[in-house]
A and B are shown apart, each in its own frame.
Chain A
């Protein structure tokens, strides 16, 4: 039977290797799931089932920071935002979780890009982290702006500095670390100061809207990764809709990464 858009996602049993607090309300979980680790591309996501929490029957969509093909592991970083993520944080190493993936399209990073600007706000840091590593692997210099509400919610900065060729700038809303204010301020300054041939943004919609508008004005290709509540992750439920200039799309199958010029921001 002809299938319009084959669904790439498959169900995997993943063994929990580690599940620990990073900082503040940020946790990381490392899953051993070799086949999936080798399939995932930067900017894609997985949906994790959390057993034993009747307030969280849907799977939780989570982005990954990095995969290790040799160890067959993936690292997911998540914030505690409700009963589902709280339950996930209590899962012990050695347990098995049902993981659905790979989901979504991932970042499209042109091989001939020379210098990229990556901008992250809050949990948007997770897919931006993966994008930064992908740029490093492709030999693309990347300046990375990471913003968070407060110092405790900034993480991964030292690792980015060690692994990425480019400037790493941090900001916090309360000024407790890095520049005081939203990530959009240093991001727009960098856009004005340097020549980029790629801009990737993930974070609150006002941040994505502001940075992508300026990139588009300057003729720089810009992609945004959109966050939506979703029930399935594979195109069945229509909850994660995104309004685009080409009509309604789904964040799960058509995204989460969109060409910023196609997204109709509210």
Chain B
């Protein structure tokens, strides 16, 4: 009998630990045709705000060594747009035992609250809500709010009473231990880390940024060791479950996050480079669990030997 891969991410049951990083997976349906998306333990949808956002100007992405940099700026159709465009599809995923985590975007505490209330009203398919307090590409709020323990706590204190669903928080790649503790104290059910890492890419011939803004968010394999270290730090700081995100290319990359203390792990940019990667990564993860000789993947969480 094969080992159990089922985990529970802060009240969200997942048949396996694989999730998708918001912003790299659209609303899920884009990947149907490459493979059956419901093979994943969960998906996390693109961050949506109460009202649609146009996002940043072009160009919005550039290739960099070991990954990419983006400044999309959370372009989204708004919660109503998401529900109208793909509510039925997302409900179908739920019916096929794939959790649907809806990411929530906002520029201010009031906007986060408004978006959460709309999800509560319109999105019965949402297994949980992930509050994105760490987007590096929006002018006000975003990473500024999520970059201090007080700012992060303020957002979660405001949205926590508005939903009984599992509440996740997407964390910035900075001060993770102390911010994780502040979020746990405010009642977050799980933490997702890390968001893309603020970076720059400059065209030296034109002396301009390769993006429409000076800075953007780095993602891809170059982020992986940093993300594993930050998950490990957060795991020392809090007892709520963690979802590791950052540069996953293989099942062994997922395994590193689990050994560092993650309950679930999201595939990010690799979805864009290799759109059918998830079933391969899942098979590689299963092989590792078998190799470790355990009956339950939960026995491997935080099992780093040090």
Q: Spell out A's residues near B (CB within 8 Å).
A: 1-7, 9-11, 49, 54-59, 82-84, 100, 228-232, 234-241, 243, 247-248, 266
Contact = CB atoms under 8 A, between A and B. Distances in A.
Given A6-B33, A11-B276, A236-B26, 12 more contacts: A1-B89, A3-B29, A4-B29, A54-B66, A58-B63, A58-B273, A82-B63, A229-B61, A231-B68, A232-B272, A243-B54, A247-B54
Contacts of A83: 63
A3 B32 contact: yes
Interface SS of chain A: loop
Interface string B43-63: 000100000101101111111
Contact of B272 (A4, A55, A237): A237
Name, among A3, A6, A55, A230, the residue most crowded by chain B CB atoms within 10 Å (CB to CB). A3
Nearest to A228: B58
A132 B295 CA distance: 62
B119 interface: no
B68 A10 contact: no
Contacts of B23: 237-238
Ranked nearest first, the 10 interchain pairs of A and B with the lowest CB-CB distance are A1-B92, A236-B26, A239-B61, A232-B272, A239-B60, A231-B272, A236-B30, A235-B30, A3-B29, A2-B88
Contact residues on B (Cβ < 8 Å of other chain), bracket: 35 or more
Contacts of A234: 30, 275
Interface string B265-287: 00001011111100000000000
Contacts, number: 123
A100 B55 contact: no
Nearest to A230: B61
Given A237-B70, A238-B75, A243-B54, A229 B62 contact: yes
Contacts of A10: 33-34
A83 B201 CA distance: 15
Contacts of A1: 29, 32, 38, 88-89, 92-93, 96
A56 B54 contact: no
Nearest to B86: A4
21 contacts: A1-B38, A1-B88, A1-B96, A2-B92, A4-B85, A10-B34, A55-B65, A57-B67, A57-B220, A57-B273, A58-B61, A228-B59, A230-B61, A231-B70, A231-B269, A236-B24, A237-B26, A239-B59, A239-B60, A247-B52, A266-B58
Contacts of A248: 54-55, 75
Nearest to A7: B33
A230 B273 CA distance: 11
A56 B63 contact: yes
A4 B89 CA distance: 8
Contact of B55 (A58, A59, A235, A241): A241
Contacts of A241: 54-55, 58, 60, 72, 75
A91 to B, nearest CB: 17
